[in-house]
Structure 1
């Protein structure tokens, strides 16, 4: 990933207005910052959230709290707990996210 030049800054994520994104069940609340072509989000999934589609976009995702289940197109399943991350490149392996208890994540 190439980071475009931009000035040093800090972010108080709780001051950013969240936008709601409905899943097949539950809601994802995104607090988003963009730095040129780089998008960073603090995402909170409500308990019972399940994505309404598989995603083939690449991400680096860090679990801050809660628990996130990720299912890959080939059927493999992974669970993230606080302090864990997963990484996947664009178009590499479609993935679908869900949580029974809710989760808060940092996602690029």
Structure 2
């Protein structure tokens, strides 16, 4: 039980740092706080709604059964729905998100040189 918990904590922790950095790195400094707040609020709301949907699927499949087999069927259905949603989200992200090479992003964020007398 401790192994999967540690793996999940490390994976989620690492993903959140990269996600936060990606969401705010291309914005002006004065907008980074707002973007971070929107990102975290969206993540919390998505997790809440997602968990509610998965619990509903599991409860629907389990029905009134309390046997290990009935509970396993409910969990299997919920995890199947989660896997389908994960694949769908990955496909949408691959098709929708813009691709920009790092050199272009670095040039966009670089300050312009001073043009006046020093």
TM range (shorter): under 0.3
For normalisation by structure 1, the TM-score amounts to: 0.22
Larger radius of gyration: 2
Instruction: Work out which structure has the larger RCO, using CA pairs closer than 8 Å and 6 or more positions apart in sequence.
Output: 1
